[in-house]
Amino acid sequence: MSILAIDTATQVSSVAVAKEGRLLSELTMQGKLTHSETLLPHIESVLKMAATAKEDLEGIAISIGPGSFTGLRIGLAAAKAMSYALNIPLVGVSTLKALAYQLPVPGVRLVCLLDAQKGNAYVESYRWENDELKTVEAVKVAKISDIIADCGALGEQVILLGDAVQKKIAGKLELPENVCVAMPHLVMPRAACVAMLGQAELKAGHVDNVMDLEPVYIRRSEAEVLWEKRHPEEAQATKPTEEM
């Protein structure tokens, strides 16, 4: 199965082509151009490098969030349109899980943090058990300082990954003894991981609906949150469930 994977959840633009569990090509960069400008040219490049015609693709895996709202939408809009035009299945892969997938280290807790603005991060914790990546603590939004303090209180080795590490933690914050950051080349998302996880999902028959797939935002828009504060009664009547 040939699969194209896309990750535009952070300032990293990453696309990859994989076939039968083998990474054929990957282009990962943090540059000055926006995802909007580079994504399609990069997809064209990785297909060429992998000597794979777009018509030979059998699936698309998209890093579905959480992350930058706009970045996620750029990736997802491209992935949906391509899935529709080539008539191939599309599957969303958790951006946080794909991050943890970079470090196949058993016996430690992998804490993945994606920037959620204003000193906050989307955070989810994982552990490898019997060659499988298990979620230890489900995704939530928390203050980065609180996340680190909580990690320090754990009686085990913790490795931090994600764009919040690159932006806000590595070399900037003092870390407890049992906590360290992943090496710089492993700290940011990569489409290769999205490809491997996505391929497994597709093989297991998990396909997302190209018509209504949405990014995993975790957070609602600020306008909605503000409106609810000002209209508490009406908000109670139509309480959405996505807020954490």
Partner 1 sequence: MEKKNEELLTLAIESSCDETSAAVLRGGREILANIISTQIPIHQKFGGVVPEIASRKHIVNIMPVIDECLREAKVELKDIDQVAVTYGPGLVGALLVGVSAAKSLAFSLGKPLIGVNHLEGHIFANFLAAPDLEPPFMALVVSGGHTALVDVQGYNRFRMMGQTRDDAAGEAFDKIARVMGLPYPGGPRIDALAKEGDPMAIDFPQALTEKGNYEFSFSGLKSAVLNYINSEKMKGHELNKADIAASFQRSVIEVLVGKAFQAVKEAGRDTLVLAGGVAANSGLEARLREEAEKRGVRFLYPSKILCTDNAAMIGCRGYYQALAGGYSDLYLNAVPGLSLTDK
- Of 67 and 110, nearer to partner 1 (C-beta) is 67
| 69 and 116 Cβ atoms separated by less than 8 Å | no
Task: Please tell me the count of residues contacting partner 1 according to CB under 8 A.
Answer: 36
Interface of this chain with partner 1, residues 112 to 141, rule: CB under 8 A: none
Q: Considering only residues 22, 48, 51, 77, which one is a binding residue for partner 1 as defined by CB under 8 A?
A: 77
Q: Considering only residues 38, 125, 166, 199, which one is a binding residue for partner 1 as defined by CB under 8 A?
A: 38
| 26 and 190 Cβ atoms separated by less than 8 Å | yes
- Of 185 and 230, nearer to partner 1 (C-beta) is 230
Applying CB under 8 A, does 76 fall inside the site for partner 1? yes
Applying CB under 8 A, does 29 fall inside the site for partner 1? no
Binding segment toward partner 1, per CB under 8 A, in 39-47, 150-158, 181-189, 194-202: 39-47
| 14 and 46 Cβ atoms separated by less than 8 Å | no
Applying CB under 8 A, does 159 fall inside the site for partner 1? no
- Of 112 and 210, nearer to partner 1 (C-beta) is 210
Interface of this chain with partner 1, residues 173 to 232, rule: CB under 8 A: 210-212, 214-215, 217, 221-224, 227
Applying CB under 8 A, does 37 fall inside the site for partner 1? yes
Applying CB under 8 A, does 81 fall inside the site for partner 1? yes
Applying CB under 8 A, does 5 fall inside the site for partner 1? no
Q: Which residues bind partner 1 (CB under 8 A)?
A: 34, 36-41, 43-44, 54, 69-70, 73-82, 84-86, 210-212, 214-215, 217, 221-224, 227
